[in-house]
Amino acid sequence: MKDFAAIDFETANNERSSVCSVGVVIYRDGIKVDEFYSLIKPEPEYFNYWCSQVHGLSAEDTEDAPVFPDVWKQIEPKIEGLPLVAHNKAFDESCLKAVFRVYQMEYPDYEFHCTCIASRKVWPEGHHNLDIIAARCGYNLENHHHALADADACAAIALQIL
């Protein structure tokens, strides 16, 4: 796969619609051509302890952030016509669908691929966490759980095994 957009969401709480940051990395013909990162005001707008422990974001970080529809207006033209790739597609795709529902936006039924599922086929043994699989593909993920860093790591995996 040479043309795709790797995407990663972080959530504020256990609601999939509570996306509080997004990272997108865009490849065309196997070359990184664009990237995008934004904080997002989550819906519902609260952070639980465990999510904040994972990604380090809090309500203070997103109090002045744009709402999802405003962020998506910036992302949508960048990813038009491209398949989306995520490491653990089940999570990121469900977040995207949930936040589209919350804001009553029409979901365009994006084509999604999963680097986690693909990695299990390539390396059936061991753990398949993003940082571990990225390292197997020669990518050093230094800022794990930052949406843009995770999207970049996912893209590195996609280039190797999708």
Report domain extents, the chain: 4-161
pLDDT in tens, the chain (162 residues): 999 999 999 999 999 999 999 999 999 999 999 999 999 999 999 999 999 999 999 999 999 999 999 999 999 999 999 999 999 999 999 999 999 999 999 999 999 999 999 999 999 999 999 999 999 999 999 999 999 999 999 999 999 999
Amino acid 124: pLDDT = 96
C-alpha R_g of the chain = 15
> Is the four-CA dihedral 36, 111, 41, 77 of positive or negative sign?
positive
Q: Which CATH number fits domain 4-161: 3.40.50.300, 3.30.420.10, 3.20.20.80, 3.40.50.970?
A: 3.30.420.10
pLDDT at residue number 59: 97
**What's the confidence (pLDDT) of residue 77?**
98
